Amino acid sequence: MMDAQPTAPSEARPVEDLDVLVVGAGFTGLYQLHRLRQLGFSVRLFEAGADLGGIWYWNCYPGARVDTHVPMYEFSSEDLWRDWNWTERFPSWEELRRYFRYVDQKLDLSRDIAFNTRVEAAEFDEDRRRWVVRTQDGGLVSPRFLVLCTGFAAKPYIPDLKGLDRFAGVKHHTAWWPQDGLDLTGKRVGVIGTGASGVQVVQEAAAVAAELTVFQRTPILALAMQQCPLDEATQIEMKRDYPARFARRRESFGGFDLQASGKSALEVTADERRAVFEASWAAGGFSFWAATFYDVIMNLDANRTAYDFWREKVQARLRDPMLAEKLAPKQPPHPFGVKRPSLEQTYYDVFNQENVRLVDLKETPILEVTPKGVRTEEQEYELDILVLATGFDAVTGGLTQIDIRGVEGRTLKEKWAAGARTHLGMASAGFPNLLFLYGPQSPSGFCNGPTCAELQGDWVVECLKHMRDMGVTRFETTAVAETAWKEHVEQIGAMTLFPLADSWYMGANIPGKPRELLNYPGGVPLYLQLCQESADKGYEGFVLKC
């Protein structure tokens, strides 16, 4: 199989005691580090990668770029956005890396970050009311509070494909792409998977590969990105509205500056509905997903109107009717929007090229990977490069891959074996003084990352400040609170169409993983309201001990 890229030995020296240890140097972890330092906490951050950025350190495959438009994918502090200008509406991984370096220069974050430092295990010491955290290189640190910011895509998934280890060509999961790149020019490239990374690799590979074979299990219902360049003058004009746009994040389901019409897709005329769909399609990005009608994600008939519009737009770009039916079938493979839509620029167009072919794995499943390529029930496809765009053990995987042991020696992985159990999507009973952000049963996969980093992150910072100021040395959520939260998540989820698809939202992409809605489906405003209610009641749902 395939191992993660090796990391260099850490140069960080063990620290005996800390107030807080943060794990992960993406948006969320960096925000925690900055805010907690401002409040006088002794805090360090451990990062497995060699640089800042979290997923944007690892994501360097061809075409990798964010699916959130500017300025929603950056920190909202004017001290940071005032002097920073993007060059594209949807920035590439290269530009995101430059942004993180800029943030580091402004906030001097790296001085408290240990890079190439992968957290391997953590165990709660009840006597000292501290965590003992061990890194892969044997380092030890003992924080009072442990804050995990590992993100929802920290554990890549590689399917159990027979013969994968025998492939004689070059193979990489998109999450473990070589940092110095890989030239696809003139090569026979195969891509397994048609999620976000698959779409982006296909767009790039189609332009340079001698042959590109796309192995599709389920058609991706990708949306028009509507990418555009941004010059300095445009950015200056845009920044007039930045404060208002950032303020709207609290009012939006997914933490964007987008709002649905507030109407049902079924209560308007066909012409009115089409006008809304056309406007949101032209706006690009997630507008067609999040800014049309409130019942598209709740009612199958309303949902079908969106799917049929999407299908019409896609089929118009495909010359071969049989191919068009495989990429955009008459009958939806699942309700529109219940799998996270990918954004595309030329994805559907490239299938009109002679060097690109689509293999429908529903018709001809993969039998094995051979030394020469991939064999399906129909034929063998010879390849030089095999790209595994096969996704992640999402939301819970980044947490459960760490050996985290609570008060009874039970691991978080063992506790969640039958399903995630949290309170507010941030804490789990039996694991005192531990908080996780962008995790299970929080908005996470439904929410813009930087929005969650700041809005959910503010709650965590204020919680830790309260504990310190009140002399609390141990806090833990209760089993009653997490049961109530799980029931709340399930009740709202049952009102939506999300459970009707086998998606990573439901944990259904990982064999043996419990099928459950992993993300909070009530939207950012309700989520923040419930978190604040807990805090206002002295952190209801938690037991605090001094």
Q: How far is CA 83 from the centre of its chain?
A: 27
> Could you write out the three-class secondary structure of 463-530?
HHHHHHHCCCCEEEECHHHHHHHHHHHHHHHCCCCHHHCCCHHHCCCCCCCCCCCCCCCCCHHHHHHH
Burial class of residue 108 in the structure, from the number of CB atoms within 10 Å of its CB (0-12 exposed, 13-18 middle, 19+ buried) = exposed
In this structure, are 120 and 174 located in the same domain?
A: no
| Residue 12 per-residue DSSP state | P
Q: Which two tokens stand for residue 40?
A: 């006088």
Residues 500, 361 within the same domain = no
Assigned domain for 71 exists: no
Mean pLDDT, rounded, for 71-76: 97
390/372 Cα distance (integer angstroms): 20
The pLDDT tens digits for 520-536 are: 999 999 999 999 999 99
Residues 205 and 308 both lie in one domain = yes
- Domain, as residue range, for 40: 15-52+109-156+394-545
- Asked whether residue 133 falls in the same domain as residue 210, the answer is no
| 329 and 441 share one domain | no
Contacts of 213 (CB under 8 A, 6+ apart): 188, 189, 190, 191, 357, 359, 374, 381, 383
Does the pLDDT of residue 12 top 70, yes or no? no
Tens digits of residue pLDDT in 199-231? 999 999 999 999 999 999 999 999 999 999 999
Number of domains in the chain: 2
Considering the domain architecture, whether residues 253 and 294 belong to the same structural domain is answered as yes
Same domain, yes or no: 373 and 402: no
**Do 402 and 383 reside in the same domain of the chain?**
no
CA 257 to chain centre: 18
Residue type, 303: N
Residue 99 counted as domain residue: no
Structural domain includes residue 79: no
Residues 268-304 pLDDT 10s: 999 999 999 999 999 999 999 999 999 999 999 999 9
> Using alpha carbons only, what angle is made at residue 131 by residues 130 and 135, rounded to the nearest 5 degrees?
150
Structure tokens at 439: 């995790």
Whether 7 shows a pLDDT value over 80: the answer reads no
Res 110: pLDDT: 97
Is residue 423 in some structural domain? Answer: yes
> Has residue 339 been placed in a domain?
yes
3-class secondary structure for 130-169? EEEEEECCCCEEEEEEEEECCCCCCCECCCCCCCHHHCCC
Cα separation, 167 vs 503, whole angstroms: 28
**What DSSP element (H or E) covers 360?**
strand 356-360
* Bond preceding residue 71 cis, omega within 30 of 0: yes
Rounded Cα–Cα distance for residues 248 and 259 (Å): 9
Listed residues 345, 362, 388: the one ending a domain: 388
Q: Is residue 5 part of a domain?
A: no
Q: What is the pLDDT of residues 308-340, one digit of tens each?
A: 999 999 999 999 999 999 999 999 999 999 999
pLDDT at 233 over 90: yes
Distance CA 491, CA 468 (A): 35
- Specify the pTM: 0.94
Decide if 62 is inside a domain. no
Task: Find the mean pLDDT for residues 229-251.
Answer: 95
What pLDDT sits at residue 260?
80
Domain boundary among 388, 403, 436: 388
Cα of 439 vs its chain's centroid, Å: 10
Would you say residue 203 lies in a domain? yes
How confident is residue 6, by pLDDT bands cut at 50, 70 and 90? very low
pLDDT of residue 408: 87
**What DSSP designation does 424 have?**
T
Residue where one domain finishes, among candidates 369, 388, 407 = 388
* pLDDT tens digit sequence for 136-188: 999 999 999 999 999 999 999 999 999 999 999 999 999 999 999 999 999 99
For the range 241-247, what are the long-range contacts, defined as Cβ-Cβ under 8 Å and sequence gap of 24 or more?
242/71, 242/76, 242/78, 242/81, 243/78, 245/71, 245/72, 246/71, 246/76
**225 and 346 inside one domain:** yes
CA 147/CA 25 separation, integer angstroms: 12
Say yes or no: 219 and 286 in one domain: yes
The string of pLDDT tens digits covering residues 453-463 is 999 999 999 99
Indicate if 369 and 510 belong to the same structural domain: no
pLDDT at 11 over 60: no
β-strands 434-436, 130-135 pairing: unpaired
Let me know whether 411 and 525 are in one domain.
yes
Distance CA 268, CA 109 (A): 51
Q: Is the pLDDT of residue 2 over 70?
A: no
pLDDT at position 262: 87
- Read off the CATH number of the domain in which 509 is found: 3.50.50.60
